[in-house]
Amino acid sequence: MNSLGLDTQSASSLDVMTEDVLRNSEIEGLLLNPKHVRSSVARHLGLDTAGLPMPDHYTEGVVQVMLDAVQHADAPLTEQRLFNWHAALFPLGRSGIVPITVAAWRQGAEPMQVVSGAMGKETVHYEAPPSADVPHQMQLFLDWFNSEPTTDPVLKAAVAHLWFVNIHPFDDGNGRLTRTLTDMLLARADGTPQRFYSMSAAILRDKKNYYDVLEYMGKHGLDITQWLLWFLQTMESAIDTAVEKTHRVVRKSLFWHEHCNIALNERQIKVINRLWDGFEGKLNTSKWAKMTKTSTATALRDIQDLVEKGILRCSNEGGRSTNYELVEE
């Protein structure tokens, strides 16, 4: 990453941090507004927010949790810091419509269980330690978390992830917070607050196996080899995906540098950027018209102009309509 320009590094980090916030919540079935998340992350990083909406209060809180973790990764993890993060995730003191204990360890005599299935036919996947044991368990965890590492820092991130989620110290939000702690320790390991790969995105892509291996670990004692292998393989997947995206960011930057003197209208610039940013499917006249909110006749003229300028070309794939693709050579 050091070989990239600062603008390219910032763009890559903004993309990854935005995705990390979105996917961390999506793993739990919570869908945030991508534009609100991007706006909040960009504003906190001091980057341009032109054209982006003001984020809502809840999104601001979720983003601040992630940024506090990775931008202050070397600061001690304390009970109060975790409570502050938890409060940001549950500003109304509820999980859905159910009141929960916020900014404090879970309480109550009933068992904390991870279950699935219809009421009366639930399957118990994991039962956490009793609430009375949580303060002591968390003090042991925090002491270890803040101690000087005696093992590889990436392995420490893996162990922290499993340990925290097994304690399940809060009424809700444990999954999101354990992934936040993972990012925090990986930021320490990388020696930079900028993030260039998203573990949460990689976990989401393998969500079933993620929950399967966590359930297996919760039922099979202290041998965590299987978890460590899964974690490292998932991290490798996250880094591989990041490398591919970074190469695309670099190619996009070079493209605009090489074409900076070519006259293009706003519609053309918009669609070209969409193509570079991972447009899914095939580009044709009707999709162009829909994206730019213009007529098909205008869309066709825009496309033909880009073909003549060597920016687009007809793809080799057949179909009822002509499809186009970027010339990336």
- Does residue 1 sit within a domain? no
- Which whole number is the average pLDDT over 77-105? 98
**Is residue 130 domain-shared with residue 189, that is, in the same domain?**
yes
* pLDDT for 293: 96
**Is residue 139 domain-shared with residue 33, that is, in the same domain?**
yes
**Has residue 273 got a pLDDT over 60?**
yes
Q: In this structure, are residues 55 and 63 in contact, taking their beta carbons and an 8 Å threshold? A: yes
Using the 3D structure, point to which of 218, 246, 274 is the last residue of a domain.
Answer: 246
**Is residue 203 domain-shared with residue 302, that is, in the same domain?**
no
**Has residue 46 got a pLDDT over 90?**
yes
**Is residue 68 domain-shared with residue 131, that is, in the same domain?**
yes
Query: Where does the pLDDT of residue 319 fall: very low under 50, low under 70, confident under 90, or very high at 90 and above?
Result: low
Query: Where does the pLDDT of residue 278 fall: very low under 50, low under 70, confident under 90, or very high at 90 and above?
Result: confident
* pLDDT for 317: 63
pLDDT tens digits, residue range 2-12? 445 556 678 78
**Is residue 150 domain-shared with residue 280, that is, in the same domain?**
no
Using the 3D structure, point to which of 222, 246, 270 is the last residue of a domain.
Answer: 246
b/e sequence 262-281, b meaning 16+ C-beta within 10 Å:
eebeebbeebbebbbeebee
**Has residue 280 got a pLDDT over 90?**
no
Lowest mean pLDDT among 67-71, 108-112, 157-161, 229-233: 108-112
* pLDDT for 328: 84
| Closest C-alpha among 287, 284, 276 to residue 315 | 284
**Has residue 29 got a pLDDT over 90?**
yes
**Has residue 185 got a pLDDT over 90?**
yes
- Does residue 89 sit within a domain? yes
- Does residue 18 sit within a domain? yes
* Token representation of residue 282: 């095939």
**Has residue 117 got a pLDDT over 90?**
no
* pLDDT for 6: 54
Task: Name, in order, each residue with C-beta under 8 angstroms of 191's C-beta and a sequence gap of 6 or more.
Answer: none
Query: Where does the pLDDT of residue 124 fall: very low under 50, low under 70, confident under 90, or very high at 90 and above?
Result: confident
- Which whole number is the average pLDDT over 119-128? 79
**Residue 297 belongs to a domain with what CATH number?**
1.10.10.10
- Does residue 302 sit within a domain? yes
**Is residue 186 domain-shared with residue 313, that is, in the same domain?**
no
**Is residue 81 domain-shared with residue 165, that is, in the same domain?**
yes
- Does residue 197 sit within a domain? yes
**Has residue 198 got a pLDDT over 90?**
yes
**Is residue 180 domain-shared with residue 303, that is, in the same domain?**
no
- Over the Cα atoms of the chain, what is R_g? 23
- Does residue 48 sit within a domain? yes
- Does residue 252 sit within a domain? no
Q: Which amino acid is at 202?
A: A
**Is residue 97 domain-shared with residue 219, that is, in the same domain?**
yes
3-state secondary structure the chain: CCCCCHHHHHHHHHHHHHHHHHHHHHCCCCCCCHHHHHHHHHHHHCCCCCCCCCCCHHHHHHHHHHHHHHHCCCCCCCHHHHHHHHHHHCCCCEECCEECCCCCCCCCCCCCEEEECCCCCCEEEEECCCHHHHHHHHHHHHHHHHCCCCCCHHHHHHHHHHHHHHHCCCCCCHHHHHHHHHHHHHHHHHCCCCCCCCHHHHHHHCHHHHHHHHHHHHHCCCCCHHHHHHHHHHHHHHHHHHHHHHHHHHHHHHHHHHCCCCCCCHHHHHHHHHHHCCCCCCECHHHHHHHHCCCHHHHHHHHHHHHHCCCEEECCCCCCCCCEEECCC
* Total domains, the chain: 2
* pLDDT for 118: 67
The Cα 182–Cα 23 span in angstroms is: 14
**Is residue 195 domain-shared with residue 286, that is, in the same domain?**
no
* pLDDT for 5: 53
* pLDDT for 39: 97
Task: Please state, rounded to an integer, the average pLDDT across all residues of the chain.
Answer: 92
**Is residue 320 domain-shared with residue 228, that is, in the same domain?**
no
Angle at 92 between CA 31 and CA 98, to 5 degrees: 80
**Can you give the residue range of the structural domain that contains 304?**
261-326
Task: Name, in order, each residue with C-beta under 8 angstroms of 188's C-beta and a sequence gap of 6 or more.
Answer: 73, 74, 153
**Residue 117 belongs to a domain with what CATH number?**
1.10.3290.10
* pLDDT for 302: 98
**Has residue 151 got a pLDDT over 70?**
yes
Query: Where does the pLDDT of residue 175 fall: very low under 50, low under 70, confident under 90, or very high at 90 and above?
Result: very high
Using the 3D structure, point to which of 246, 277, 307 is the last residue of a domain.
Answer: 246
Q: In this structure, are residues 190 and 198 in contact, taking their beta carbons and an 8 Å threshold? A: no
- Does residue 47 sit within a domain? yes
- Which whole number is the average pLDDT over 55-74? 98
Higher pLDDT, 51 or 181: 181
pLDDT tens digits, residue range 207-222? 999 999 999 998 887 8
**Has residue 113 got a pLDDT over 70?**
yes
**Is residue 111 domain-shared with residue 31, that is, in the same domain?**
yes
Most confident of the ranges 4-8, 243-247, 315-319: 243-247
**Has residue 323 got a pLDDT over 90?**
yes
